[in-house]
């Protein structure tokens, strides 16, 4: 456990500066700074005081239950590029394969396509943010343009193709995760 980082997250969640937390705990700003960077260790009594000012206690602070992350940003995205297929994929949520659904942002170059995915249990949803795509589902094809969405049960081989002249950008959510 990163004690300093956890204290810093709690402080920021409460909208406090290091100086404000220090004043509430009757400590110096320098001590709070060192504490958050793990350059010093507090006594149990001092830690209890800091945690009380942050609205928690020792038991809750040290519980193994990790707080669920709700908002994800650019630092959480994992990007890949397959030049041969003309395809870029951005995994928007880290470790989404352990969740019930997996959202990705996909860019398909003109003439590009995803790999043919085998039938599987679940659901597929997508929203075309730019360009247009063709959804190949078994022997059937369906066009989907910017501003349109698609939804299907993947009970046949399927893939996305870009027969247009510009890059297609698609937000694609698979449940369960398959990417």
Q: Where are the domains of the chain?
A: 3-61, 74-175
What pLDDT was estimated at residue 33? Answer: 95
Q: What is the pLDDT of residue 157?
A: 96
Cβ(46)–Cβ(3) below 8 Å? no
Kindly report, residue by residue over 91-150, the tens digit of the pLDDT.
898 876 677 888 999 999 999 999 999 999 999 999 999 999 999 999 999 999 999 999
Q: What is the mean pLDDT of the chain?
A: 91
Looking at residue 179, its pLDDT comes to 66
Alpha-carbon dihedral 128, 131, 132, 135, rounded to 10 degrees: -60
Tokens of 121: 């249990």
Q: What are 20-77's pLDDT values in tens digits?
A: 999 999 999 999 999 999 999 999 999 999 999 998 999 888 886 666 778 988 988 9
**Residue pointed to by tokens 């949803």:** 125
> DSSP character for 166?
S
Cα–Cα distances in Å, from 179 out to 34, 40, 76, 99? 42, 43, 17, 12
Domain 74-175, CATH: 2.60.120.10
Q: Is the pLDDT of residue 1 over 80?
A: no
Residue 103: Cβ-neighbour burial (10 angstroms; 0-12, 13-18, 19+): buried
Amino acid 76: pLDDT: 87
Average pLDDT in the 79-83 region? 91
User: Residue for token digits 């066009």?
Assistant: 143
Right CATH number for 3-61 from 1.10.260.40, 3.40.50.360, 1.20.210.10, 1.10.1200.10? 1.10.260.40
Q: What are the start-end ranges of the E strands in 8-157? A: 78-82, 87-91, 102-108, 123-130, 132-137, 140-145, 149-152
- 158, 135 in Cβ contact below 8 A? yes
The pLDDT score that the predictor gives to residue 116 is 93
Q: Which residue has the tokens 């700074």?
A: 33
pLDDT of residue 97: 64
Question: What local confidence, expressed as pLDDT, does residue 164 receive?
Answer: 94
Contacts of 43 (CB under 8 A, 6+ apart): none
């Amino acid at each position: 456990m990163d004690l300093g980082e956890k204290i810093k997250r709690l402080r920021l969640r409460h909208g406090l500066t290091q100086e404000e937390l220090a004043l509430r705990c009757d400590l110096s700003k320098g001590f709070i700074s060192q504490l958050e960077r793990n350059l010093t260790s507090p006594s149990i009594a001092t830690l209890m005081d800091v945690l009380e000012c942050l609205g928690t206690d020792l038991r809750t602070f040290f519980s193994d239950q990790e707080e669920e992350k709700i908002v994800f940003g650019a630092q959480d995205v994992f990007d890949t590029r397959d030049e041969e297929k003309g395809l870029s994929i951005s995994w928007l949520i880290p470790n989404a394969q352990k969740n019930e659904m997996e959202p990705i942002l996909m860019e398909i170059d003109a003439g590009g396509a995803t790999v043919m995915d085998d039938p599987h249990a679940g659901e597929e949803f997508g929203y075309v943010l730019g360009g247009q795509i063709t959804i190949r589902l078994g022997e059937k094809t369906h066009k989907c343009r910017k501003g349109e969405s698609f939804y299907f049960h993947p009970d046949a081989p399927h893939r996305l193709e870009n027969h247009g002249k510009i890059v297609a950008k698609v937000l694609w959510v698979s449940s369960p995760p398959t990417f």
